[in-house]
């Protein structure tokens, strides 16, 4: 197992370097630049634009720009300056100006909290809901579970968020509309908004997987030996049923931990989801690299955790 983990870590590092190279190459090949008018900025005189490019090192050869960026990132953990918000570095935009004093209010931590709470909600309710739906197939439990999951899959996040605001904030006045970090009540609606769709997906996958496993021969054999249904389900059916579910948990967690634009926008939460949009439209090269590398790092780490979970759920899986 240790050799497998070491091998995957090395592969993940190589993948991250390849992602950084491809991302940087696409930025260089895209027409225009961060200081051109097509990047959303005001038109500038050619000499002013050249001076700005020289100040940020954009006049140097692409290979030199990439090596300088990676050197600062790896040895100084410096994502570089923002070419659009010149008064701030990318580190300050993503981690806050006073990260050491108040880390929980840093944008990247705020987004991670929303994603983690939503993920826990989706898993804690999605898996039991799918199991109940499978065990009570074509009965009231199945119908109720399928109604909930259909609603969760069909309603977009921003629509569900607006519905929750209208009901619980404006009509009932139970929860605050906007903000994050001052009270646990501020987390209720964003977490439900983000977690509902994931819960529905997990529940549907769990239901389909449990139904498939319950029809296998080894389940019939376990029942024929006189094992209790609870033991058959917990010891034989569930571990094998969860393997397809675990497959989607890694990418889902990675996507949620790195910010969600619509949820953060609807509830005015100061996370990093907006940077995935503004970085591209503003041609902010440093911010583009930071957001993509952050998401890629979380994704490959989550996939590594998923592969380890495979061997835990099914001992027959072995990695050489």
Can you give the pLDDT at residue 35?
A: 72
- For residue 233, is it within any domain? yes
One domain for residues 156 and 264: yes
One domain for residues 255 and 308: no
Could you count the other beta carbons within 10 Å of the beta carbon of residue 82?
A: 25
Are 285 and 84 in contact by the 8 Å Cβ rule? The answer is no
Q: Indicate the range of 4-8, 84-88, 102-106, 308-312 predicted with least confidence.
A: 308-312
Q: Indicate the range of 2-11, 99-108, 307-316 predicted with least confidence.
A: 307-316
pLDDT tens digit string along 200-256? 999 999 999 988 888 888 888 888 887 787 888 877 788 888 888 888 888 888 888
In angstroms and rounded to an integer, the radius of gyration of the C-alpha atoms of the chain is 24
HSE at residue 257, side-chain half, CA atoms within 13 A, is 18
- The dihedrals phi and psi of 301, each to the nearest 5 degrees, come to -65, -40
pLDDT at 181 over 60: yes
Could you count the other beta carbons within 10 Å of the beta carbon of residue 238?
A: 17
One domain for residues 152 and 243: yes
One domain for residues 177 and 226: yes
Domain of residue 21, residue span = 1-95+274-320
pLDDT tens digit string along 78-102? 998 888 887 788 988 888 877 777 7
Are 187 and 176 in contact by the 8 Å Cβ rule? The answer is no
Q: How many domains would you assign to the chain? A: 2
- For residue 101, is it within any domain? no
Average pLDDT over residues 148-170: 90
One domain for residues 37 and 185: no
What gap in Å lies between CA 168 and CA 176, rounded to an integer?
A: 8
Can you give the pLDDT at residue 207?
A: 92
pLDDT at 173 over 80: yes
Distance of CA 252 to the CA centre of its chain: 6
């Amino acid at each position: 197992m240790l050799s497998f983990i070491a091998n995957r870590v090395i592969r993940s590092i190589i993948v991250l370097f390849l992602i950084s190279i491809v991302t940087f190459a696409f930025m260089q090949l895209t027409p225009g630049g961060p200081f051109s008018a097509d990047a959303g900025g005001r038109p500038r005189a050619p000499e002013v634009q050249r001076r700005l490019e020289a100040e940020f090192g954009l006049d140097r050869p692409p290979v030199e720009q990439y090596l300088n960026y990676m050197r600062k990132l790896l040895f100084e953990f410096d994502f570089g300056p923002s070419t659009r918000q010149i008064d701030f570095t990318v580190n300050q935009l993503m981690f806050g100006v006073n990260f050491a004093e108040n880390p929980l209010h840093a944008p990247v931590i705020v987004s991670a909290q929303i994603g983690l709470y939503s993920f826990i909600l989706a898993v804690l309710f999605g898996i039991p809901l799918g199991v109940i739906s499978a065990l009570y197939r074509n009965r009231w439990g199945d119908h109720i579970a399928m109604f909930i999951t259909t609603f969760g899959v069909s309603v977009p996040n921003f629509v569900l968020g607006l519905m929750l605001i209208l009901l619980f904030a404006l009509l009932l006045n139970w929860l605050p509309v906007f903000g994050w970090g001052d009270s646990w009540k501020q987390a209720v609606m964003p977490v439900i908004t983000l977690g509902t769709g994931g819960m529905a997906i997990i529940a549907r996958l769990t239901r389909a997987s449990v139904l498939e496993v319950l029809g296998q021969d080894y389940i019939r054999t376990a029942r024929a030996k006189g094992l209790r249904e609870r033991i058959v389900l917990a010891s034989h059916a569930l571990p094998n049923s969860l393997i397809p579910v675990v497959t989607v948990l890694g990418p889902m967690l990675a996507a949620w931990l790195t910010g969600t634009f619509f949820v953060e926008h609807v509830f005015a939460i100061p996370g990093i989801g907006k940077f995935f949009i503004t970085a591209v439209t503003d041609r902010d090269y440093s911010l583009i690299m930071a957001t993509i590398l952050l998401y890629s790092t979380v994704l490959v780490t989550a996939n590594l955790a998923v592969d380890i979970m495979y061997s835990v759920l099914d001992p027959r899986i072995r990695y050489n």
